[in-house]
Structure 1
């Protein structure tokens, strides 16, 4: 870069856009920079390298971060409302308490990412890789996670009310005390998942794999379990679809 990137970004996203237009740099390197609290709303940061950058509390609302490298970046409490993170690399990133309402995270790599308390309402996460991610108490109400991989992820006490979870892989995931009321889970894989005290009221669990899952104390009132595999599942104390309690 001919100009110091910090100075350039302080001048605003318009100056940044002009610089990108004048300089044919496919993947600008902003790795390890301290951009805490910067106002980057609406900026074009597609394919930018933000690896290990500090973007805590930054305003990235509606920003284009398609295919950006945000691995190990600090995005705690950042504003990413309606941001485009399609195909982005967020491996090991810190997104605790970040706001990503209606953000586009399709095909994003979020392996091992911290999303504790993150706001992802109505987010698009189809085909995202969230293996081992920490989503403790995250809000995913009405989010689309179709065919997302959440194997071994922590979703304890998360909100997935009315979420679209078609063919999601929850194998060995922790969904204890998770709220899944009204969620669409057709053909999801919940084998060996921890579902203790989970709220499945009026959810669609048809053709779901619950083999070996722990459903003790779960609430399945009104849930559709047609064609579900409950082999070796623990239903002790669970409220069944008809309202009766399993012994």
Structure 2
């Protein structure tokens, strides 16, 4: 289908272009709000700065398409193919992307607040500076995604895959990460105040300099975790495993440690109270208290 034909038909009131063949088309800046391009082939198309508010793109092929700075609020992209697409700076507030394939996609600085991304594949995607506040990422694949300074407060991540995800300086206050696998994940300098990490796997995770005030870490595995300089004020570490973790310079004021395992834990320079440090060291094989 020719671009000029599509734009003319749209101007004349037509909205249904299901299955249209538009691979490589140049639709940069086009006004296409409310259009139905479900199952259309838009592979490699240029849709930068296009207006696609409330557009239907369910099952569309947008592989390697340029959607940078596109206006796609409330757009429907269920099962869409967006592998290696460029969505940097795109406005996708309340967009629906269940099961969308976003492997290797560029989403730097995009706004996905309250978007639906359950079971979406974001493996190796670049989500730096992305706003995902309130987004539903249930069951999403975020393995090896690059997410520094991503905003995830209020997001749902139940059952999400997070192997190798990079979350340095991420904003994740108040979210539920209970019983999730964060083995080796980089959360250095992240804001995790009030987060529920009960029973989670944080084996060898990097949490250095992170803010974890009031966090729930009951029964979590923090074996060999890097917790240097972390703030765990009033955190619940009951029954947590902190074997050979490094808590040097950590602020543990008001934290609880009932049944916690501190075998080999480093506590040099931490701000634990003297009585708490003594109790911990009595049950640890090797411990350097504050």
Q: Same fold (TM over 0.5)?
A: yes
8 Å Cα contact 2:3/2:26 also seen in 1: no
Q: State the match for 2:94 in structure 1.
A: 102
1:232 aligns with 2:219: no
1:155 maps onto 2:153 in alignment:
no
Unaligned runs of 5+ in 2: 236-250, 253-266, 271-290
Compared CA separation, residues 130 and 222, structure 1 to 2 (3 A): same
Residue of structure 2 in register with 1:15 after alignment: 14
1:6 is matched with: 4
Alignment gaps of 5+ in structure 1: 21-25
* Equivalent position SS for 1:121: coil
Question: Which residue of structure 2 aligns with residue 218 of structure 1?
Answer: 210
Is 2:35 the partner of 1:43? Answer: yes
Kept after mapping to 1: 8 A contact 2:15/2:34? no
1:78 aligns with 2:70: yes
Paired with 2:156 and 2:233, the residues of 1 have a C-alpha distance of 20
Aligned-residue Cα RMSD (Å) equals: 1.6
Shift of 1:35: 0.1
8 Å contact from structure 1 (residues 105, 128) kept in 2: yes
TM-score by length of 2: 0.78
SS at match of 1:153: coil
Residue 132 of structure 2 is aligned to residue 140 of structure 1: yes
Structure 1 residue 135, shift from structure 2 partner: 0.4
Q: 1:155 to 1:7 in 2, by over 3 A?
A: same
In the alignment, is the contact (CA less than 8 A) between 1:9 and 1:15 conserved in 2? Answer: no
Spell out, residue by residue over 1:49-100, the C-alpha distance to the aligned partner (whole angstroms, 9 max, x if none). Answer: 1100000000111011111111100000001100011111100000000000
> What's the TM-score once normalised by structure 1's chain length?
0.91
User: Post-superposition shift, 1:27?
Assistant: 2.9
Shift of 1:212: 1.4
Match of 1:192 among 184, 196, 205: 184
Contact 1:167 1:189 in 2 (8 A): no
Structure 2 distance, partners of 1:241, 1:207, is 19
Q: Which has the higher contact order (CA 8 A, sep 6+)?
A: 1
Distance in 1 between the 2:80 and 2:172 partners? 27
Partner of residue 170, structure 1: 162
Change (3 A) 1:167 1:226: farther
> How many positions carry a matched residue from both structures?
238
How much does 1:224 deviate? 1.4
